[in-house]
Structure 1
Amino acid sequence: MVTEKWRFHCLHCLRVWEALYEARHAGGGHGGHAVAWRLDGVPAQPPWIDPVCQNCNSLRVKVLPAGPIVPRQR
C-alpha cells in the first residue's frame, strides 16, 4: 500500500484542497496491473475520476500532480 497526496483546484470558485489516498497495487498474474484506491478508509474511484469541489459542488475541478506546487514565472 502506498499513500499518495493529490491536490485539486476548482476552476469555478478557485478553491484548492488536498486529499490523501491509499493505493494498493496488485499484479493480475497475467502481465496486467490493478490499483485499488481508498479515501479515508473507504473504497474510492481514482482521484482524477469525476472530482467535485467540496465548496461549490462544481465539476470543473483540475487534479494537480502530487508534490509541491511551483508558481509560474511571468
Structure 2
Amino acid sequence: MPDGFDSPETWPFECLRCLYVWEEEFVVRRLTDNHGNEVEIWLSSGVAVPPPRSGTCCPRCGAYRVTSFPSGYLAHHPELVPAPEPEPEPLFVPVIQPGSRPAERSPLPGRLLVALGLPLAAFVGYELFANLVHPARPHH
C-alpha cells in the first residue's frame, strides 16, 4: 500500500511578456510505493496538473515566457503584486415585457451613409453628365 502526504504550495509567477504577476495554489501529493519509489502528483483545484515549473501559461496574455519566484516571495515584496483590476461593467440587456413594443431602431450612422452615398452620387452624376455631353449615336 503506498504511503504519502499532501502539502499545499503557493507559487508566484511573472510573465516576461506582459509583466503580469500572479500566484497559483497547488497541493502536492507525495507518495512512496512498496518498492520505495517516490512520486509527486501536483493538483490544482483537485485536478492533476503538470508541475508548475514546466510550461506555465500567463492567464492575461497567454505567453509561455513565465518565471517563478520562491514560495512566499510576494508576501515579502508586496510592491510587485498588481492592484486588482476593476470588475467589468455588466452588459445591459433590455427586457421586453409581453405586449410592449420594442424600441425603435436607431438610424444608421452618418459616416456610413456618407461612405456609401458619395461614391454612388459621383457615379450617377458622371453617367448623367456623360449622357448629356456625349449622347449615344445611333449606328447606321
**TM-score band, normalised by the shorter chain?**
0.7 to 0.9
Deviation string, structure 1 residues 21-44 (Cα, Å, up to 9, x no partner) = 000111133332101110011111
State the Cα distance separating 1:11 from its structure 2 match.
0.3
Structure number with larger C-alpha Rg: 2
**Structure with more of its chain in helix, by fraction:** 2
Matched, 1:3 2:8: yes
Distance 2:73 2:63 in 1: 24
State the Cα distance separating 1:67 from its structure 2 match.
1.3
Distance 1:5 1:30 in 2: 30
Q: State the number of aligned residues.
A: 71
Q: TM-score, normalised on structure 1?
A: 0.86
2:28 to 2, 23, 46: 23
1:32 to 34, 37, 40: 37
SS at match of 2:73: coil
Larger relative contact order (Cα-Cα within 8 Å, sequence gap ≥ 6): 1
Q: What one-letter code is carried by the residue in structure 2 that aligns with 1:49?
A: S
Identify unmatched segments of 5+ residues in structure 1: none
- Determine if contact 2:12/2:73 at 8 Å carries over to the other structure: no
Q: What one-letter code is carried by the residue in structure 2 that aligns with 1:50?
A: G
RMSD of the TM alignment (CA)?
A: 1.4
Q: In the alignment, what sits opposite 2:85?
A: none
Identify unmatched segments of 5+ residues in structure 2: 1-5, 78-140
Distance 1:60 1:14 in 2: 10
